[in-house]
Structures are given as structure tokens and as C-alpha cells.
Amino acid sequence: MIKSNSNFSRLPERYLFLDIAKRVNAFSKANPSADIIRMGIGDVTRPLAPAVIKAMHEAVEDCAAQDTFHGYGPERGYQWLREAIVKGDYEPLGVNLSPDDIFVNDGAKSDTGNIGDILSTDGLVGITDPVYPVYVDTNLMRGAQVRFIPCNAANGYTGDIPTERLDVIYLCYPNNPTGAVITKAKLKEWVDYALSNGSIIMYDSAYEAFIRDPEIPHSIYEIEGAKECAIEFRSFSKTAGFTGIRCGYTVIPQGLMVNDESGRKVSLNALWERRQSCKFNGASYVSQRGALAVYTPEGRKQIHETIDYYLETARIIRDSMTEVGLNPQGGENAPYIWAETPQGIDSWEFFDILLEKAQVVVTPGSGFGPSGQGYFRITSFADRQRTIEAMQRIKNLMNK
């Protein structure tokens, strides 16, 4: 009989958010009248920008007529979107990229999870901890060896530069779950480490649109030398509310090389194109037209306003956590707030207390990795009034 992929036995039994849903559903079943406020999952709650909606309506109309119908698109994404990305996202940062460095996708989760297809499983994969669980799980699935890079208050949640050699390093800033950002100086240390060790950095900047501090880098390519050592992942999900529409992109500079097994230089851009043209048929025409509208003046303005709304919600959460002494961090250039559990109690224990005594759902920090123990994450992707109510309930509980 065929055997299953034994790497799957290295994975936690369930994905974190399924675990949370299971506990919340059980509580809800036992307490049907409970008014539960969900501050756990990182899904957006505000509708799409009118400019995006208009563009997608037009794209649907295109598909209704013989002359303007669109079937399969290019695997890398439409040229007009890749040009808009280069012009709209990178030129203002002083970063010079070509549209051929860009691969449009159906969201960052797929590519952050699949990118390992083009790398050998030899060597070590370093992953900052706590972390978005996809990087760890997908590397375990492919049989790679993972090392956690602990992130804590002492290193500003940006990890200490390792003394051992890591072949691949996953960084995510602004960070999910801690809401931490990275300075240019610290990011340069990571880039220098990668250049001197021949490592590749997987840089996930899915939350860059939340950066308001002009000193904080939006892209790893703002750092000299990064085009020789880094792949960057971006998404329209949190930038523009595309979690249900699905569109994002990956940047693999054409000059980014690794060795093959015989020591010959190979282009990661070429390998990824080969991989995508085999396993992926492109993001839909309608979602790419919606993404294009993100770069129009009205699209930009509307999106900025929505992110301001979330950031104001984040401020309310952060202030409330400070008030009850839970030492929050994040939430200023990121949608997430990372706070300590009272008296350092177990993350899941505090999750249960908040659910049972305040009917508020948060995300237990330990679900994001060992360094998350004793913390919890709150998201600002929530309704303002419900957030205020949730914060009041937590304050009442903590002040008892």
C-alpha cells in the first residue's frame, strides 16, 4: 500500500486557528446566549475600497463580451499590474526593480508556503519565533531542518544575528504576531549576515502598508545588497482588504542566484517561473484589475483611510493593555498588539479565562511558537465599538 508523506507526522496536529475555533465553538454550544467578541483571527473586516469595486465590476463586464473576454492570463501576472507594482510600490522607495522581477499570485500564503519547492532541503532554515505558522509547517512538510530564532523584548522582537550558519532565514516585518517593526540598521545586519553566509532571506512584508513611521523600511530592497540575497512577499490582503478576493505578489530579483548541486549558478527567478508555469495558472483577471485600482490616486486615498481606521483601533487596544499593566507592544506600525499574560500564566490558560469570563477571543501566543509562551495577540481588524466593549470587559476582569 502507498505510504503517506512521513514529514506530516512532524507537524502539530491542527492549524492554530482551527484549534481556537474548536474551543470557541464548544464554549458557544455550552453557552448559547454568550455574546462573544472575536479579536483573534487576522482577517480584515472593512469592505473593499470603492475604486477597487468599480475596477472589478468593469473587469466582469469585459468578460461578458467576445472582444474583451480574458481567459488564462500570463503565469507571472499581467504586465500592466507588474508595471504598476514597480512604479507604485518600489520607485517611491528609490528601489529599482523590473516588472520581470515580479510574480503576481493568489495571495502571500501560497508563495511563502511553496517557495521551498525551488530550494534543496539540505542545510538549516532559520525562522524567527514567534511566527506566522505557515513558514514552519511548510518547511517541516518538505523535510527541511528548522531552527527557531527567538524574538523577545531584549532584541526588539527582531532576533539576534546567529552565530551558526543558516541557509534560509524567514523574516516578517511589520511582524505577525508581535506587531514589531525592524529598523534599517537591524535589517542591514541581517542582509550582511546573508551575504557573507550565502543565505537567502525570505522577507514577508504583507503588512508594510501599516507603516507610518518614515524611518521604518517598507521593503528589504531598501537595504544595499538585498537584491543578491532576498525574496520579498507582498499581499493586497491586508493592504487593500483582498483576503476574500485573493491577490498578492512575490519579488525575485533576476540577479538572485544560488548554486545547483554541481556548483553551477542558477537563477531563482528562472526556477520560480518554471515552478509557477507548471503548478499555477495565475490570479484571476478580475482580482488583478482590482489590484491595479489600488495604485490609482483615489484607490490609494481610500485604502489609506481604511488602514488609518485599523490603526486607531490598534491604539485603543494598546492603551487599554497598558492601562491594565499587560505591557503591550506593536500596534503602531502594524495591526497586531502583542501583550503579556498576567503573572506570566500559560497562553492557552489565559485564552480560556478571557473566553469564559469576558467572552473575548484572542490568539494564544504559544500557538505562534515556543517564544510566544506567556503572551497573547489581539488584532485591530475588528469593529470599533466591539473593540471598545471587549477592552472594557478585559479591564473589568483584570481590575477585579
Positions in the binding site for ligand PLP (CB under 6 A): 42, 107-109, 112, 132, 172, 176, 204, 206, 235, 237, 243, 248
CB of 348 to ligand PLP, least distance (A): 21
In DSSP notation, 61-78 reads: HHTTSTTT---S--TT--
Answer for the pair 76, 276: CB distance below 8 angstroms, yes or no.
yes
Q: How many CA atoms lie within 13 A of 52 on its CB side?
A: 23
Element (H, E) at 169: strand 168-172
CB of 176 to ligand PLP, least distance (A): 4
Which of 249, 237, 245, 247 shows the shortest CA–CA distance to 381?
237
Q: How many CA atoms lie within 13 A of 182 on its CB side?
A: 32
Alpha-carbon distance of 12 to 16, in angstroms, equals 9
CA angle 307, 56, 272 (to 5 degrees): 80
CB of 207 to ligand PLP, least distance (A): 7
CB of 216 to ligand PLP, least distance (A): 16
Q: Among residues 256 and 283, whose Cβ is nearest to ligand PLP?
A: 283
Answer for the pair 156, 394: CB distance below 8 angstroms, yes or no.
no
Q: Among residues 78 and 135, whose Cβ is nearest to ligand PLP?
A: 135
CB of 31 to ligand PLP, least distance (A): 28
Answer for the pair 286, 59: CB distance below 8 angstroms, yes or no.
yes
Q: Among residues 290 and 359, whose Cβ is nearest to ligand PLP?
A: 290
Radius of gyration of the chain (CA): 21
CB of 206 to ligand PLP, least distance (A): 4
Q: Among residues 45 and 176, whose Cβ is nearest to ligand PLP?
A: 176
Q: Among residues 107 and 367, whose Cβ is nearest to ligand PLP?
A: 107
Alpha-carbon distance of 202 to 127, in angstroms, equals 10
Q: Among residues 248 and 369, whose Cβ is nearest to ligand PLP?
A: 248
CB of 260 to ligand PLP, least distance (A): 29
Q: Among residues 359 and 363, whose Cβ is nearest to ligand PLP?
A: 363
Residue nearest to ligand PLP (CB): 107
